[in-house]
Amino acid sequence: MRFTFSSALRSCAVLAIAALVATNGSVRAAMGAKTGIGLSWMDKTCKPCTDFYQFANGNWIKHNPIPPQYSTWGSFNILYNHNQDVLHSILEAANKANAAPGSNEQKIGSFYGSCMNTAEIDKAGTAPLQPLMNAIDGVASSRTLAPALAQLLLANVNAFFGIGSGADFKNSSMSITQIGQGGLGLPDRDYYLKTDAASKKLQQRYVAHVTQMFALLGETPAQAAADAQTVMTMETTLAKAQMSRVEERDPQKVYNKMDLAGLQKLAPNFDWATFFKDSGITPEAINVAQPKYFAALSSDLATWTPAQIKTYLKWQTIHTFASALPHAFEQANFAFYGQTLTGAKQQLDRWKRCTASVDRNLGEALGQVYVAKVFPPSAKAQALEMVKYVKSTLRSDMGQLSWMSPATKAKAQAKLDAFMLKIGYPDKWRSYAGLDVTNGAYASNLIAAYQFNNKFDYAHINKPVDRSLWGMTPPTVNAYYDPTVNEIVFPAGILQPPFFSATGDMAMNFGGIGAVIGHESTHGFDDEGSQFDAKGNLANWWTPSDKAKFNAREQCIINQYDALSPEKGVKENGKLVVGEATADLGGLTIAYKAFERWQAKHPRKIIDGYTPEQRFFLGWAHVWASSQRAQTIALRAKTDVHAYDKFRVNATVSNMPAFAKAWGCKAGSPMVRPAKQRCAIW
């Protein structure tokens, strides 16, 4: 299992990528082709000062129920689907082409074709997993686990922990070995630790699912049930030792650098030297993200029998590759992870699942063709100009902050000036030479791709950080800030309507992609990003007084979100979402100021009855139009650093006097917070 440590802190502008699924639709058809205003989306029976989210999106939500294949449905899904259609046409053509063996076209076509070939998948059965199963069968004790685990993690099996390369937090120019907690089949440790009735019921359903998967492997009902209970017991033990998601958001807590001897002393019941040797890694330095977890894992390995360890490893292996196995495995996997956990009613069309898989595993080979079709150099240049516009506004705003001292302002501006900007697609494309993709079983291609990509990652260990690498593929509908590289990244996939249109209304552009640019930029100064300096090193560059004032302002945001409930019995966790909520408020604030600067140089226009300022806020609200199933709401409240979509709109704008002015909201309106309760950073 790959564990790229900078990814653990990478802050995204939207939802977790796994949540982005879609059906047929057209962004330009759904929104006004020229203005971007979703007039048909709006609920005019609701006043904007009462519930802005309902006003902007209520009619769309009413008339767009969640399709049965999905757990969430909204604006992101529409755009994601548009990109999927483009990728689908590329892959269908590549699969039918007589491309040169070893070319990118052959590889993406054959990978996609093998995923679509269900007859071959059913014929192969679990045979492609046999080398991994043989490695597991060779485990005779905790001390002989290392070779098998090296092979399994290279193939992306989520067993015990994750490993990968990542920048040294205190020497960000160098990439070192990173290891972190992992190995759970449920989404988070809390799923194992809570004892309320709903949690216990879900735990029982998980055990039933694992039982079913073991039965599909050929075990008797009694053996399958016993093995499933073994898995649940072991994973619960792992969960008890793990850090919470809130704790993991503190860079100071997850930076624990040591050498191989130090790691062996910390976790003596595992042969680390053999593990690294078999992984092809020479660990000059190792960051152990959660030392207490690895110490506990070492103790646990001494108590678990070889049979128990092998049972757990076999489960994690079939779980990892369930989507590439025969129909019965795939359906059982969806029944639990799709229906039970997220509430989805039906599987996505197979072509959509296969298209997404090619994007995940050969993303830059596919991405080269994608950007050639949808993102010309002129669009990249226009997007870059908008990034620079928002960035310069943030720089100016920093200089005017009343709560930040001149010394801290200077360092904050220096950090902002040092931002590396990545727009659309990489300047240097990855090579996939050495990855052999065949027309055989899909699982074999998937294993080969996992191994290839993990070896690519491992090869960066002990070397200078390659700042040209991207953490997302070009078609991705997302964006991110990476504190260890001090970069903001905007893939071509998000630089399209409703976020951005080169020929559209600039008010909507600033409310859409402008707010996303501001969001990612202010991540460099949120509760995590503020702990890294201009070079990406973990270092304090704040005066004590300024840091205290900053923390107090973030506590205001934590308090606001702690008071919010997206669904009966479900609460937001302010400490979990504070980074993203801070970036939402900061990003929208800075984008609005940037828009004011732009508007001052251009004629004011009333479009469809709305002022430029009103259209700006409609742009933000339309981006977050969505519905989510109850299961997904509960899942995200536990695991997602992003708040509920409605709150990302209403809670954010209610802190902004500019919103109240734009819509003529009076004091005491639900969308206007009293001055003493208002949160503001930028």
Per-residue b or e along 348-371, where b marks 16 or more CB atoms closer than 10 Å to that residue's CB? beebbbbbbbbbbbbbbbbbbbbb
Q: What is the separation of C-alpha 177 from the centre of its chain, rounded to a whole number of angstroms? A: 22
Q: Which residues pair with 258 in a beta bridge?
A: 286
The residue whose two tokens read 């699969």 is 95
- Distances in Å between the Cα of 38 and the Cα atoms of 60, 340, 543 are 9, 33, 46
Residues that are catalytic: 520, 584
Give 3-state DSSP helix, strand, coil % of the chain, rounded to 5.
55, 10, 35
Residue type, 609: G
Backbone angles phi, psi at 611, to 5 degrees: -70, 165
As a residue count, the chain comes to 682
Q: Which residues, including other chains, have CB under 8 Å from residue 196's CB and lie 6 or more apart?
A: none
17 token code pair: 């990528």
CA distance 448 to 43: 51
What's 592's DSSP letter? H
Strands (E), 446-528: 480-482, 487-491
List of long-range contacts for 598-605, beta carbons under 8 Å, 24+ apart: 598/389, 598/506, 598/510, 599/506, 599/507, 602/506
CA distance 363 to 369: 10
Order of all β-strands in the sheet with 257-258:
161-168, 171-181, 286-288, 257-258
CA distance 666 to 378: 43
3-state secondary structure of 174: strand
613 token code pair: 């300022």
How many Cβ atoms sit within 10 Å of the Cβ of residue 641?
21
CA distance 373 to 379: 12
The residue whose two tokens read 């900078």 is 6
